[in-house]
Structure 1
Amino acid sequence: MPARAVAARARLCARRCGVCSTCSPTLVGDLTLDCDTWSSPDGSGQRLMVLTAEAGSPSDEALRILASWTATAGAEAR
């Protein structure tokens, strides 16, 4: 799909922004993440949720630790 068409569709999507907090005490502790949610404009009920941590924050470091565990586990499974 051409970039212009993607951009046009994006303008039609409903978007919500916010901050969510979660705790994983046994793994990495508290996480504070920015949450952006886009709803599909076709009425299907599908949503895209993007969670991000502020660069350099403790939550960013915690996500990097979790990602490294996943990468390691994936490599071992091969």
Structure 2
Amino acid sequence: LDELLNHAQRPEVGVVGGRLGSPQGRIEGTAQVLGLRGAVGVPNRGESLNTSGYMQRQQTVQNFSAVGIDCLLVRKKVFDELHGLDEQ
């Protein structure tokens, strides 16, 4: 949560998301990449949460195309400007 708040407080950032793990210690959800395995995909889904990934990318904060709804922090100003979330 500290890392999410750290980036969410930056004025140029509107939305941040986190990596979600399964009870078995696997990556279940995270930020999303447009065009990965279809319209949108979750990188490294099913991999161990402890893996470092290619060039340590699984253990670093980085930019992605989209953020999943499962773990999402939105700036209030951005949320209000967009009139909330649209399930459509």
**TM-score w.r.t. length of structure 1:** 0.32
- Name the structure where helix makes up a greater proportion of residues: 1
**TM-score w.r.t. length of structure 2:** 0.29
- Higher RCO structure (Cα 8 Å, ≥6 apart): 2
- Name the structure where strand makes up a greater proportion of residues: 1
